[in-house]
Amino acid sequence: MTLHEAIAESVREQIRRGELSVGDALPSEAEFCDRWKASRAPVRQALATLRSEGVITGGRGKPPVVCASSLGQPFDTLLSYSAWVHSIGRTPGQRTLELALRPADEVASANLHVDAGAPVVHVLRLRYLDGEPAMLERSMYVERVGRLLFDFDCDSGSQWTYLQSRGVRFATASHVIDAVAADPVDARNLGVPEGAPLLRQRRTTRDPDGDVLEFHDDRYLPRAVSFTLNNTIDSRSALARATPGSALDL
């Protein structure tokens, strides 16, 4: 772990442990330098990282101040449901309803960027939060990745962790968040009436070369899960509004 990472992590740790709460001021940069026997560069890099995460604010002349109690989520917890649930101290669960190798239909070929008819792995999974259904996950994988899933007990642990252990390298993801009415499949599995509002997160995950690895259509029960964002005037947010015409692609 590099020095600036260690500094940033120590601050996050202090926030997690409650030693720093919202509104508290952090030590000055000079103080950090003394404590860590470091120059300003790594200290400032650590503070910049925390700032971009929306954890602290502060301006010229004023010491940085903790401005968010909920820490931003690292890349993996936004992509892995299991990792996320664990990270907030709850109990995940899951039941795989379908695992199939099928020729790509129109939707699959468009989202995975493969030829129509190419083999594609479809997965339908129901995800639980503390034993209650919370999300229905429709995912599709390019054949290269999806075939690994047939060697995996999908109900046992984290698919994400498993795929990484088999050499799949996830690098970037694009998310589109909107609302949708529960279709018959959603309704039956999530235990809501047909047409009930669901929070939908669609995402495309790619490897370092930009090739698509998977596409998800996750539908959450709004009473169980929502998305949050903390925003500061001097930081452009990664989250953006969009209209359907806009490109969803990388």
Give the residue, chosen from 107, 183, 188, 227, that forms a contact with a second copy under the rule CB under 8 A: 227
Which partner, a second copy, DNA, none, binds residue 17 by CB below 5 to 8 Å per kind? none
The interface with DNA within residues 16-35 (CB under 7 A) comprises 26, 28-30
Question: Which of 10, 96 has the CB closer to DNA?
Answer: 10
- For DNA (CB under 7 A), the number of binding residues is 24
Q: Are 36 and 46 in contact (CB under 8 A)?
A: no
The CA-based dihedral angle spanning residues 155, 156, 160, 164, taken in that order and rounded to the nearest 10 degrees: -130
Task: Count how many Cα atoms sit within 13 Å of the Cα of residue 118 in the half-sphere of its side chain.
Answer: 16
Give the residue, chosen from 45, 77, 87, 158, that forms a contact with DNA under the rule CB under 7 A: 45
164 lies in the site for a second copy, by CB under 8 A: no
The least distance separating DNA from the CB of residue 106, rounded to whole angstroms, comes to 34
Q: Are 232 and 68 in contact (CB under 8 A)?
A: no
Which partner, DNA, a second copy, none, binds residue 74 by CB below 5 to 8 Å per kind? a second copy
Which partner, a second copy, DNA, none, binds residue 249 by CB below 5 to 8 Å per kind? a second copy
The least distance separating DNA from the CB of residue 41, rounded to whole angstroms, comes to 4
The interface with DNA within residues 181-240 (CB under 7 A) comprises none
The least distance separating a second copy from the CB of residue 119, rounded to whole angstroms, comes to 26
- For a second copy (CB under 8 A), the number of binding residues is 72
Give the residue, chosen from 63, 72, 93, 119, that forms a contact with DNA under the rule CB under 7 A: 63
Contacts with a second copy, 19-38, as mask; x by CB under 8 A: ---xx---------------
End-to-end CA, the chain: 30
235 lies in the site for a second copy, by CB under 8 A: yes
Question: Which of 57, 111 has the CB closer to a second copy?
Answer: 57
Give CA–CA dist 114/133, Å, rounded. 32
Give CA–CA dist 134/84, Å, rounded. 13
Q: Residue 127 class from Cβ within 10 Å (0-12 exposed, 13-18 middle, 19+ buried)?
A: buried
Q: Return the structure tokens found at 98.
A: 């379908």
Give the residue, chosen from 16, 40, 95, 102, that forms a contact with DNA under the rule CB under 7 A: 40
Give the residue, chosen from 39, 171, 191, 211, that forms a contact with a second copy under the rule CB under 8 A: 171
Find the helix or strand (DSSP H, E) in which 175 lies.
strand 172-181
The CA-based dihedral angle spanning residues 125, 129, 133, 136, taken in that order and rounded to the nearest 10 degrees: -30
229 lies in the site for a second copy, by CB under 8 A: yes
Count of CB atoms situated within 10 Å of the CB of 136: 25
Give CA–CA dist 246/101, Å, rounded. 31
Q: Are 204 and 248 in contact (CB under 8 A)?
A: yes
For binding to DNA (CB under 7 A), which residues are involved?
2-5, 26, 28-30, 37-42, 44-45, 47, 58-64
